[in-house]
């Protein structure tokens, strides 16, 4: 509902300008029509009064000649004139003649009306020579000579109607003018404002979608050209900054790749590994290091988050791990060594899960310690799966935390799967998580495949499960298989 209200409130420039123009034009038209109506009515009323004055002046000579013939002759003459005038002009006509010795009048076929005579005489005293009688308004013309006064009245119903018709004609003209004005303004706005702005919006959208460096064409409007110039400059600057960032990130990715072991030629063991960061660089880390006692150390770690900060912490872990292996071969002691130093240098709130295994390839003896890391999965030659245990807290929480070692005696054909949580927490487009159970079943399913084939199968299944969904977290897989010496 709020979005709908906001959309209604955000009208286009074209709509707002047309609205303002038409409102102002409508107010102007209303005022003009009112003024025009009043002026036309006054002019027509004056013309009508003059015409009635002339009619009264025209009647007077005849009345002067007929006054000796008696009132009946005059009355008959007036009735004839009034009847003819009503046939010609249609409005109701009244004639009143006042002699010095008293009035007589013609009003209608129904006879005289003293009230109408009084209204007619009073109308001549008003500035407009008009007055109301019943539901109509009458206008009166008059002329006097030789003791005779002639009053000629006519109703104004038709006059008001004709003036109103003229106003309606004017209104129609104004409406047509308004429509033409609106069309012209609309075309002008579309050409001068709307299309250029639409083009600029498309350019900004392209920039927002990652097409940095996209440029907009120039226009014939100084203000839009200024805006275009600024957008083009911004786009160019963003493209340059993005190129520099990509160059720096490529270098960072190369550095991170150099932190990882490149070869896995270990007698008595088959090893395969896969590392795929969610960004250009990631916070996952794994390593394979030969120890001074002839055993091999396998490490997998996951720093909270991903990106530059996590990648820098991974580099710190690499350094601390190498230093630790120079002092001890015990997985638990190595975790203790790393934790005491990492807790001091790591940012507040950044933690690391890590699992370290020490393997004796000749005897298949395995010793491990886990700092809250994702459980490793052991797969026996018979296909039975079991999980490792967590033996202590995450690194970076408590400087005095301790871990203990767990020892397992394995045999030829045993396999070990170590992953970061980016594997089990991979999501499909429906939000379903890949999960630990599905991962274990897939590991068992691949038992007849080589370690390298198993790694590829895991990669393929994870990609298929995502089904185009973007990778949300770093993914690291480390596989071991016990074989002949």
For residue 377, CA distances in Å to 156, 189, 439, 483 come to: 107, 68, 9, 17
Residue 443 burial (CB < 10 Å; 0-12/13-18/19+)?
buried
For residue 457, CA distances in Å to 164, 416, 462, 484 come to: 89, 15, 9, 24
pLDDT of 481 reads 95
Mean pLDDT lowest among 7-16, 316-325, 395-404:
7-16
Residue of 160, 241, 159, 195 whose CA lies nearest to 14: 195
Phi-psi region of 384 (alpha: psi -120 to 50; beta: other; left: phi over 0): beta
pLDDT of 171 reads 76
Query: Is pLDDT above 70 for 319?
Result: yes
Query: Is pLDDT above 70 for 105?
Result: no
pLDDT classification of 110: cutoffs 50, 70, 90: very low
Round to whole Å and give the CA distance between 34 and 37.
Answer: 5
How does DSSP assign 54-67, residue by residue?
HHHHHHHHHHHHHG
How does DSSP assign 89-151, residue by residue?
H-S-EEEEEEETTEEEEE--TT---HHHHHHHHHHTTSTTSEEEETTEEEEEEEEEETTEEEE
Reading the block at residue 350, the tokens are: 């950044």
Round to whole Å and give the CA distance between 235 and 216.
Answer: 10
Question: Tell me: the pLDDT tens digits for 327-378?
Answer: 999 999 999 999 999 998 887 778 999 999 999 998 999 999 999 999 999 9
pLDDT of 106 reads 47
Round to whole Å and give the CA distance between 341 and 190.
Answer: 66
Question: Tell me: the pLDDT tens digits for 257-315?
Answer: 788 887 778 888 999 999 988 887 888 899 999 999 999 999 999 988 777 888 888 88
pLDDT of 257 reads 79
pLDDT classification of 113: cutoffs 50, 70, 90: low
- Rounded to 5°, the CA angle 473-477-481 comes to 170
Question: Tell me: the pLDDT tens digits for 45-99?
Answer: 888 888 878 877 877 787 777 766 766 777 777 777 777 766 666 567 777 877 7
Question: Tell me: the pLDDT tens digits for 413-446?
Answer: 999 999 999 999 999 999 899 999 999 999 999 9
pLDDT classification of 108: cutoffs 50, 70, 90: very low
Q: In which element (H, E) is residue 222 found? A: helix 222-259
Dihedral angle sign, alpha carbons of residues 321, 326, 332, 336: negative
Instruction: Choose between 323 and 31: higher pLDDT.
Output: 323
Which ranges constitute the DSSP H helices of 326-380?
A: 331-345
Dihedral angle sign, alpha carbons of residues 86, 90, 92, 95: negative
Mean pLDDT lowest among 16-20, 219-223, 457-461:
16-20
User: Residue range 17-33: average pLDDT?
Assistant: 76
Question: Tell me: the pLDDT tens digits for 203-250?
Answer: 888 888 888 888 888 877 787 788 888 888 888 888 888 888 888 878
CB atoms near residue 227 (< 10 Å): 16
pLDDT of 6 reads 55
| Helix 71-89 with 13-66: angle, nearest 10 deg | 160
- Collapse the DSSP code of 286 into the 3-class scheme (helix H, G, I; strand E, B; otherwise coil) and give the result: strand
Round to whole Å and give the CA distance between 142 and 200.
Answer: 75
């Amino acid at each position: 509902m709020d979005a709908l209200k906001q959309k209604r409130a955000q009208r286009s420039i074209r709509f707002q300008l047309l609205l303002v123009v038409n409102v102002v034009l409508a107010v102007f038209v209303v005022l003009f029509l009112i003024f025009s109506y009043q002026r036309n009515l006054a002019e027509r009323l004056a013309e009508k009064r003059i015409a009635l004055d002339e009619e009264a002046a025209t009647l007077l000579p005849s009345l002067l000649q007929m006054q000796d013939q008696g009132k009946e002759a005059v009355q008959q003459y007036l009735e004839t004139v009034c009847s003819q005038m009503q046939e010609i002009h249609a409005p109701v006509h009244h004639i009143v003649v006042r002699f010095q010795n008293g009035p007589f009048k013609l009003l209608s076929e129904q006879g005289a009306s003293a009230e109408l005579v009084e209204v007619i005489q009073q109308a001549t005293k008003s500035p407009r020579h008009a007055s109301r009688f019943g539901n109509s308004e009458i206008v009166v013309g008059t002329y006097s000579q030789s003791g005779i006064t002639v009053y000629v009245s006519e109703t104004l119903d038709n006059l008001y109607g004709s003036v109103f018709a003229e106003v309606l004609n004017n209104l129609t003209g104004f409406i047509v003018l308004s429509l033409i004005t609106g069309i012209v303004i609309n075309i002008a706005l579309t050409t001068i404002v709307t299309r250029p702005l639409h083009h600029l919006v498309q350019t900004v959208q392209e920039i927002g979608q990652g097409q940095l460096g996209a440029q907009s064409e120039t226009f014939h409007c100084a203000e839009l050209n200024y805006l275009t110039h600024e957008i083009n400059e911004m786009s160019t600057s963003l493209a340059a900054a993005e190129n520099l960032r990509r160059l720096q990130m490529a270098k960072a990715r190369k550095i991170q790749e150099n932190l990882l072991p490149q070869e896995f030629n270990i007698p008595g063991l088959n090893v395969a590994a896969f590392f795929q960061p969610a960004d250009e660089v990631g916070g996952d880390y794994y390593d394979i290091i030969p120890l001074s006692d002839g055993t091999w150390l396998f490490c997998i770690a996951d720093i909270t988050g991903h990106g530059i900060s996590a990648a820098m912490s991974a580099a710190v872990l690499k350094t601390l791990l190498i230093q630790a292996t120079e002092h001890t071969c015990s997985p638990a002691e190595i975790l203790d060594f790393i934790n005491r130093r990492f807790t001091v240098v790591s940012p507040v709130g950044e933690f690391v899960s890590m699992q370290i295994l020490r393997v004796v390839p000749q005897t298949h003896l395995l010793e491990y310690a886990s700092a809250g890391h994702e459980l490793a999965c052991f797969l026996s030659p018979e296909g039975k799966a079991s999980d490792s245990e967590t033996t202590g807290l995450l690194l970076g929480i408590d400087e005095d935390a301790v871990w203990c070692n767990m020892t397992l005696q394995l045999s030829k054909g045993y396999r070990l799967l170590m992953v970061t949580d980016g594997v089990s927490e991979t999501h499909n487009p429906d939000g379903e998580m890949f999960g630990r159970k599905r991962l274990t079943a897939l590991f068992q399913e691949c038992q007849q495949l080589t370690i390298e084939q198993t790694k590829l199968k895991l990669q393929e299944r994870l990609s298929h499960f995502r089904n185009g969904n973007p990778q949300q977290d770093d993914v690291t897989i480390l596989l071991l298989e016990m074989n002949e010496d």
